[in-house]
Amino acid sequence: MYLPCESIGRHLTPIFRAYLAKELIEKHGFTQVEAAKKLGITQAAVSQYLRLKRGVKGLEEFKDFLPLIESATSEVAGEIVSGKIDSGKVALKLCEICLSIRRKSLEHK
């Protein structure tokens, strides 16, 4: 038995990390190492996100929610840059996105 967060999170987590890593590096000038530290992942993982080796599986499943994901990652990136949020709270933001997606999915049924 899988919980809803488990099944959504399996694909949403890498997508969220990929968008967030890209935002930190391209818009805020972070290095891959700096972004990795802020996200609590390795530099190699960040590199794979940027080269689209990770974070693209399941993207089609979330295409209707990409504006929500992009908006949330932009907000989280700003909070990381300003020092308002750490890697633990980044995980909580991901939980909020997951919950929003689940709610919107139920509304459309």
| Model pLDDT for residues 48-62, shown as the tens digit of each residue | 999 999 888 777 888
Nearest CA among 109, 29, 103 for reference residue 68: 103
Is 107 in contact with 13 (CB distance < 8 Å)? Answer: no
For 57, residues 6+ apart whose C-beta sits below 8 A from its C-beta are: 11, 14
Q: Pull the structure tokens for residue 3.
A: 């919980």
CA 47 to mean position of chain CA atoms: 15
- C-alpha angle 22-25-27 in degrees, rounded to nearest 5: 90
* Structural domain containing residue 51: 4-107
> Which pLDDT score, from 0 to 100, does residue 108 have?
64
pTM check: above 0.75: yes
Nearest CA among 89, 67, 69 for reference residue 80: 89
Count of beta carbons in the 10 Å neighbourhood of residue 106 = 9
| Model pLDDT for residues 70-94, shown as the tens digit of each residue | 999 999 999 999 999 887 888 888 8
Looking at the structure of the chain, the number of domains it has is 1
